[in-house]
């Protein structure tokens, strides 16, 4: 298992993913890593939908339907391309935030907790030797997708985490801090 700081500094997205995917026990470890994110008020605002094998088709169909609604004259090949997107990795985990009105904890904090959970998940995946890519797109913001995945309409999908064995990875981006930091 890689050192935490090394994993963080060396993290990059996997641009091509294949089998073998994390198995059930490894996926549970990844979900637990996500659920260990800082969580103000212990609201557990995350919701996970794990799509493996044929089940990825549910997401693919939703992506095609969202494209069809946005572009009614989209060619069949375009819709088929959307369907295939969900097959780009052996496992896709849809991560949503069930942020709800709370007297003390604003929505932004609940969303932040779920985003931190996604980052925990991708870092854990990399530390375990897997690759991942955090994606969204129009389907993430559509009620069609939420319905297809069994999420509540009020939930907000923050990411589709594509997981598998990396065949290609993006170069590690330099972590630029000078232009965005003031030292006082
Ligand atoms: C909320 C969120 C949504 C993203 N959605 C997409 C996406 O739909 N498509 C995409 O190519 N990259 C998306 N990205 C960016 C990639 O996950 C990735 O971080 C980026 O390509 C930079 O590469 P790196 O992770 O190797 O540094 C998203 C990132 C975040 C945080």
Tens of pLDDT, residues 84-128: 999 999 999 999 999 999 999 999 999 999 999 999 999 999 999
The Å distance, Cα 159 to ligand 1 centre, comes to 9
pLDDT for position 2: 66
Q: Give the closest residue (by CA) to ligand 1 atom 9.
A: 135
Cβ of 159 closer than 6 Å to ligand 1, yes or no, is yes
The pTM (predicted TM-score) of the whole model is 0.97
pLDDT of 44 strictly over 70: yes
Furthest C-alpha separation in the chain = 57
CB 91 within 8 A of CB 129: no
Q: Which of 95, 93, 130, 110 is nearest to 11 (CA)?
A: 130
Q: Which of 61, 54, 53, 63 is nearest to 19 (CA)?
A: 53
If one counts every other C-beta atom within 10 angstroms of the C-beta of residue 74, the result is 15
**Which contacts of 133-137 are long-range, i.e. CB under 8 A and separated by 24 or more positions?**
133/13, 133/14, 133/15, 133/17, 133/89, 133/161, 133/162, 134/13, 134/159, 134/160, 134/161, 135/159, 135/160, 135/161, 135/162, 136/160, 137/63, 137/85
CB 156 within 8 A of CB 99: yes
User: What homologous superfamily is domain 16-52+88-168 in, according to CATH?
Assistant: NADH Oxidase (3.40.109.10)
Cβ of 16 closer than 6 Å to ligand 1, yes or no, is no
Q: What is the mean pLDDT of residues 121-148?
A: 98
**Cα-atom radius of gyration of the chain, to the nearest Å?**
17
Closest ligand 1 atom to the C-alpha of 136? 8
pLDDT for position 11: 98
């Amino acid at each position: 298992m890689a050192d935490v700081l090394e994993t963080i500094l060396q993290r990059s997205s996997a641009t091509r993913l294949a089998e073998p995917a994390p198995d059930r026990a490894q996926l549970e470890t990844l979900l637990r890593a996500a659920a260990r994110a800082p969580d103000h008020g212990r609201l557990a605002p995350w919701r996970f939908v794990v799509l493996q094998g044929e089940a990825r088709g549910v997401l693919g169909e939703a992506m095609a339907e969202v494209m069809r609604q946005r572009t009614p004259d989209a060619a069949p090949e375009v819709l088929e391309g959307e369907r295939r997107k969900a097959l780009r990795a052996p496992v896709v985990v849809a991560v949503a935030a069930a942020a709800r009105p709370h007297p003390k904890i604003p929505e932004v904090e609940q969303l932040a907790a779920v985003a931190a959970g996604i980052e925990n998940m991708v870092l854990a995946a990399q530390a375990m030797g897997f690759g991942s890519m955090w994606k969204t797109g129009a389907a993430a913001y559509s009620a069609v997708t939420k319905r297809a995945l069994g999420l509540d309409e009020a939930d907000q999908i923050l990411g589709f985490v594509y997981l598998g064995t990396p065949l290609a990875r993006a170069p590690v981006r330099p972590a630029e801090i000078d232009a965005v930091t003031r030292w006082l």
